Structure 1
């Protein structure tokens, strides 16, 4: 099954990952220990309850080294499964499977960890109508994959990069001289989507008057958030951000904001506990 994401080259990702892992000498352990024609059968399974992400990429790793490998995916990306769930069955050349194993597992563990944390946050605000967003706090080179994982967990993507929306923050405002002047410059540049970070209520009206299309209410306590949302009304969408935790997100959502962005989804998610056990085929 093919897998594609905007701004992500799967073949290049696999090639660079193997180049890093195999170096000049290749998998010297498998080459010396495993007969060339030996075949293995294996099962990838989750030891924890998780939301799955990355199985298509894992499959691509195995197929890159053994195009004839037999793979049966037992669940789909985005599925939430209990501990002990089998995710994928494989049968193929033992050397190829052992060589690809770590790269495949690392990817699925990392992406499923992100999807699992994201699902937890989404569940906490499920009854509020608020949309969870990720951020640009991603590992360089892995943004497309990590933001794919947050989507599998039920979030929506914020900006993919610096190119698809303006986000005016405190340092931009400091250089421009004021929030109003910073926004006016973005408007004059012809930018359609202008998100403005405000951390004080007195910045709201200047930002809106200058042409902001969304306000990011940064590190505001719940009561300030609520009053700011009331002040803004339905003029532009509102987003809460800064220090959001699993324990605080529901209270934040109930202030009336439209979006909540959480950097820790990609910045701090622990890897999911996923294993792959092989047995030789007689």
Structure 2
């Protein structure tokens, strides 16, 4: 599915959820057809993300009301640093469109900018290294593409979008296989160049390394154990670490001989950016 189709679907679902075309409060206004000007203000420093989702809300609501006499002029774009109290964009359109679109449009940019800002903060902590920060599939249902777009806007990289994107053997797969790790990997030798395998101990790293998979994921390893694992792997596979990574230790992990750091926190524990829409 193309990005514009994904954005359209995300917005359509959000509009239906909010019953934006049945705004019983705005319907009380006698001047709801009149044109008004509004500004979106950012109330804290942030990295902007979600501009296309924001605009799509106004596009779809305007289309429903059969009134395309609106304009949105952006002072900033996705990926830009927005300082506190800055104007992000200025809107001119009928009052009923502004009021019906307000919360939905802000919801998208507050969520996505919050993610971009967090990712950017993590990236700045390992600036100067070659390690890439990856997201995970720990996302809000039905908003995965929006969240992963925000990760990229903040300077991170996308891991799997879906279970169909990459073979990733994890603890539970191996537990239910009914055979040892060695036996399982032996029986799937032919696909190792396309496989990522999770290791939970240095002993598992030693076994997995014999098969040279594309990537080895070190789950909840200490920094010292990551360094030991890196020596064992000896560049035969790329190395990804995950679990227990935070702002205090991320640089130590980045300097431990790895290629990737995957962090569920990027899209799971979100502090939304505070935006306001003010009619002027």
Relative to the length of structure 1, the TM-score reads 0.91
For structure 1, the residue ranges without an aligned partner over 5 or more in a row are none
For structure 2, the residue ranges without an aligned partner over 5 or more in a row are 63-67
Aligned counterpart in structure 1 of residue 9 of structure 2, from 8, 12, 32: 12
Superposition map of 1:200-215 within 5 A = 200-215=201-216
CA distance in 1, matches of 2:4, 2:54: 19
Q: Partner residue of 2:93?
A: 92
The alpha-carbon deviation at position 185 of structure 1 amounts to: 4.6
Tell which deviates more after alignment, 152-161 or 34-43: 34-43
CA distance in 2, matches of 1:110, 1:134: 15
Q: Count residues in correspondence.
A: 274
The alpha-carbon deviation at position 242 of structure 1 amounts to: 0.3
> Aligned pair 1:183/2:170, yes or no?
no
Tell which deviates more after alignment, 202-211 or 176-185: 176-185
CA distance in 2, matches of 1:124, 1:238: 19
Moved over 3 A (4+): 4-8, 181-188
Cα RMSD (Å) of the superposition?
Answer: 1.8
The alpha-carbon deviation at position 33 of structure 1 amounts to: 2.2
Relative to the length of structure 2, the TM-score reads 0.92
CA distance in 1, matches of 2:146, 2:133: 18
The alpha-carbon deviation at position 218 of structure 1 amounts to: 0.8
Give the secondary structure class of the aligned counterpart of 2:245. coil
Q: Partner residue of 1:50?
A: 46
Preserved CA contact (<8 Å) 1:166 1:186: no
Q: Partner residue of 2:65?
A: none
Give CA deviations for 1:136-161 in whole Å, capped at 9, x if unaligned: 10011111110000000000001111
CA distance in 1, matches of 2:41, 2:184: 51
Superposition map of 1:98-117 within 5 A = 98-117=99-118
Superposition map of 1:153-172 within 5 A = 153-172=154-173
